[in-house]
Amino acid sequence: MPDMVEEATKDLKAWVVKIDRGHAPAFMQRMVNQALSSRSQILVMRSDMVFGLDHVRSALFHAKMAIEGRHNSSDSLSMESLLYASGERQLSSAVKKMSVDETTEEVVIARLSGGDMEVDSSWRSLDDTPQDVSIDRLKRFGITQRELDTVSRMDPRDLVLERVAAVDIIKK
C-alpha cells in the first residue's frame, strides 16, 4: 500500500505561506489562476487545519482513489482532495472548515498534479511534523475528547489521518 500512495502522490509538493491579514482570498485566486495557466491543480487551505504533509498526501491519495473508483463527490481533484483533507462528509462543510478567508494569516499551498508553479523564496516547505498539534487545534479540526482519550500511546495526528480515511465511509 505505501508504494501505491507514493506513486499516486508523486507530484505532490506543498508549502506554508505567510499572508497579510485580509489578503488570503486574493492570494488564493492568484494561485488558482497561475495553476490554471500552468496546467497544474492546486489546493489552498488554512494552515491551522493542516497537520503535516502526510495529511495532504493521504487526502490526495483518497481523492484520486475516489475519482478512479467513480465514487467521488466532485469533478475536481482539488475539491475532492479538500473534502478528504477536511474529514467532512459534505463539500460545503469542507469548504467552511478548510478555506481561507479575510482572517487567514497563513496558508498551505499544495500542488496536486504536475506543472510548473512559481514558488517564492519566502515559502516554507510543508513537512510531516506540524509545529503545533495542540488539543485545542485538534478539537477545532473536529476531533472529539473521546477520540483524544483513546490515543494515549498514538500520535494524535493519526486521528486526523483516520478522519481522512473515514470520509469514504461517511460520504456514502
- What is the C-alpha separation between 139 and 146, in angstroms, rounded? 11
Residue 33's domain comprises 2-130+160-170
Does residue 25 lie within any of the structural domains? yes
How many domains in the chain? 1
- The CA-atom distances, in angstroms, between 36 and each of 33, 141, 154 are 5, 29, 40
The pTM for the full model equals 0.93
Q: Please give the average per-residue pLDDT across 77-85, as a whole number.
A: 96
Dig out the grid coordinates for 47 from the structure: 494552515
Domain presence at residue 153 = no
Is 150 contained in some domain? no
Q: Is the pLDDT of residue 171 over 70?
A: no
The reply to whether 139 falls in a domain is no
Whole-angstrom distance, CA of residue 106 vs CA of residue 19: 5
Q: Within a domain: residue 143?
A: no
Q: What angle do CA 81, 87, 88 make, to 5 degrees?
A: 95
Q: Is residue 103 part of a domain?
A: yes
Give the domain CATH number at 98.
Answer: 3.30.2380.10
Helices (H), 39-87: 53-68, 77-86
Q: Does residue 142 lie in a domain region?
A: no
81 in Cβ contact with 112 (< 8 Å): yes
Q: Is the model more confident about 48 or about 150?
A: 48
Q: pLDDT grade, residue 172 (50/70/90)?
A: low
